[in-house]
Amino acid sequence: MYLPDFEYFSPDSVEEACQLLSKYGSKAKAIAGGTDVLVKMKSDLLAPEVLIGLGQLSPLKKIEYVPGKGVVIGSGVTHNEVRDSKVIQEKYMSVSQAAHHMANNQVRNRGTIGGNISNAVPSADMPPILISLGATATIVGTKGERTLPLEDVFAGPNVTVLEQDEIITEFVIPDGNFTGSTYMKFGLRASGALAVVGVAAAVQVEDGVIKDARIVLGAVSPTPVRAKKAESFLKDKQASEELFAEAGVIASGECKPISDIRASAEYRKDMVRVFTKRALDAAVNKGHV
Ligand SMILES: Cc1cc2nc3c(=O)[nH]c(=O)nc-3n(C[C@H](O)[C@H](O)[C@H](O)COP(=O)(O)OP(=O)(O)OC[C@H]3O[C@@H](n4cnc5c(N)ncnc54)[C@H](O)[C@@H]3O)c2cc1C
């Protein structure tokens, strides 16, 4: 469990980080909190010759609300910083709560939201809630900047659409009309366990009628997936427990889980049914996003 040899760079700017990633190509890897990269290196699963540290880049550490734009979360913000941020708690308590329910305190202190997204692990906890709220990712490389809906960043298990010289700089949760949102994680232990199933729901409810709903399923497909048929089903209907249960059945038909050491595909599908119902109930009835 020793780290292999590597060269380490600590760039002073995002531009320099991208140039280094471009210069060293496939020999190089960006590292933020290192809770994934270093574990893989110690386990001989990864052996980059060059590590490009993103930890000193202050533009990646911001959390702010920009009127007309939304809540901006730098990719280098740690999970505990997401959890404790007053800006995030005031605007999106559900995001703060999702950060609180992942990993353990040590990992939350080091692990970043950018690393969580860039890893593209299907069971990751932050993608579902951020996608449900319509978040975008800002990606910077040597050729410039681009902004993508977060759901379009994922290309498959552990694969994103990022080029070798690109990093994610920030996520933006745009101002929306959601009246409630939540992320529900089902793991095999109460804490510190990866999600067997994760379901995020964001809803806009007026006079008891669901005007808009976004449901995002984690750990049950190669990438986080919107349950779009369930979302359409809910539109313009009176919110009720029966309606949420029906939406859960529809959502369970919209995922493609695998069987692995943590659960069978059939069990995961059934948990999607159960947790979609619960997530909708919570999002509709808790009275805040
Ligand atoms: C014990 C333990 C428990 C865990 N529990 C959970 C859990 O419950 N839920 C969960 O979702 N995850 C969990 N994880 C996984 C991991 O800790 C998180 O995904 C974490 O957020 C990764 O962030 P990091 O900054 O440490 O990433 P790093 O290890 O630094 O990097 C991870 C990957 O992202 C890339 N990267 C990092 N930042 C950027 C960027 N800004 N732009 C482009 N690429 C970037 C790196 O090159 C690397 O490929 C756990 C890990 C451990 C070790």
Mean pLDDT in order along the chain per 10 residues (289 residues): 92 98 98 97 95 97 97 98 98 97 94 98 97 98 98 98 98 96 90 89 97 98 97 98 98 94 94 98 91
User: Residue 89: exposed, middle, or buried by beta-carbon count in 10 A (0-12, 13-18, 19+)?
Assistant: middle
Give me the pLDDT at residue 188, please. Answer: 85
CATH of the domain at 25: 3.30.43.10
**Residue 83 domain-assigned (yes or no):** yes
Are residues 169 and 188 part of one domain? no
In the chain, count of helices (H) and strands (E)? 11, 15
Are residues 45 and 145 part of one domain? no
132 Cα: distance to centroid of ligand 1 (angstroms): 20
Give me the pLDDT at residue 106, please. Answer: 95
Are residues 77 and 47 part of one domain? no
Ligand 1 atom having least distance to the Cα of 104: 3
State whether residue 42 is helix, strand or coil: helix
119 Cα: distance to centroid of ligand 1 (angstroms): 6
Are residues 139 and 189 part of one domain? no
State whether residue 177 is helix, strand or coil: coil
The length of the chain in residues reads: 289
Give me the pLDDT at residue 110, please. Answer: 97
SS3 content of the chain, % helix, strand, coil (to 5): 35, 30, 35
Are residues 261 and 281 part of one domain? yes
Are residues 74 and 41 part of one domain? no
Cβ of 114 less than 6 Å from ligand 1: yes
Are residues 168 and 106 part of one domain? yes
d(CA 140, CA 143) in angstroms, rounded, equals 8
DSSP summary character for residue 78? B
202 Cα: distance to centroid of ligand 1 (angstroms): 25
44 Cα: distance to centroid of ligand 1 (angstroms): 17
pLDDT tens-digit readout, 205-236? 999 999 999 999 999 999 999 999 999 999 99
Ligand 1, atom 28: closest residue by C-alpha: 34
Domain edge (last residue) among 131, 154, 173:
173
Cβ of 111 less than 6 Å from ligand 1: yes
Give me the pLDDT at residue 2, please. Answer: 86
d(CA 76, CA 195) in angstroms, rounded, equals 23
Ligand 1 atom having least distance to the Cα of 102: 8
Give me the pLDDT at residue 69, please. Answer: 95
Cβ of 200 less than 6 Å from ligand 1: no
pLDDT tens-digit readout, 64-114? 999 999 999 999 999 999 999 999 999 999 999 999 999 999 999 999 999
Domain edge (last residue) among 119, 139, 173:
173
Residue 206: which H helix or E strand, with range? strand 195-206
- Residue 92's domain comprises 60-173
Q: How many domains does the chain have?
A: 3
Give me the pLDDT at residue 288, please. Answer: 85
**Residue 2 domain-assigned (yes or no):** no
d(CA 244, CA 212) in angstroms, rounded, equals 14
Residue 76 structure tokens: 């280098």
Q: Would you tell me the crossing angle of helices 241-252 and 265-285 to the nearest 10 degrees? A: 150
CATH of the domain at 137: 3.30.465.10
Cβ of 252 less than 6 Å from ligand 1: no
Give me the pLDDT at residue 233, please. Answer: 98
Q: Which are the contacts of 220, defined by CB distance < 8 A and separation ≥ 6?
A: 122, 197, 255, 256, 257, 268, 269, 272
Cβ of 29 less than 6 Å from ligand 1: yes
d(CA 263, CA 259) in angstroms, rounded, equals 6
State whether residue 44 is helix, strand or coil: coil
**Residue 214 domain-assigned (yes or no):** yes
Are residues 41 and 70 part of one domain? no
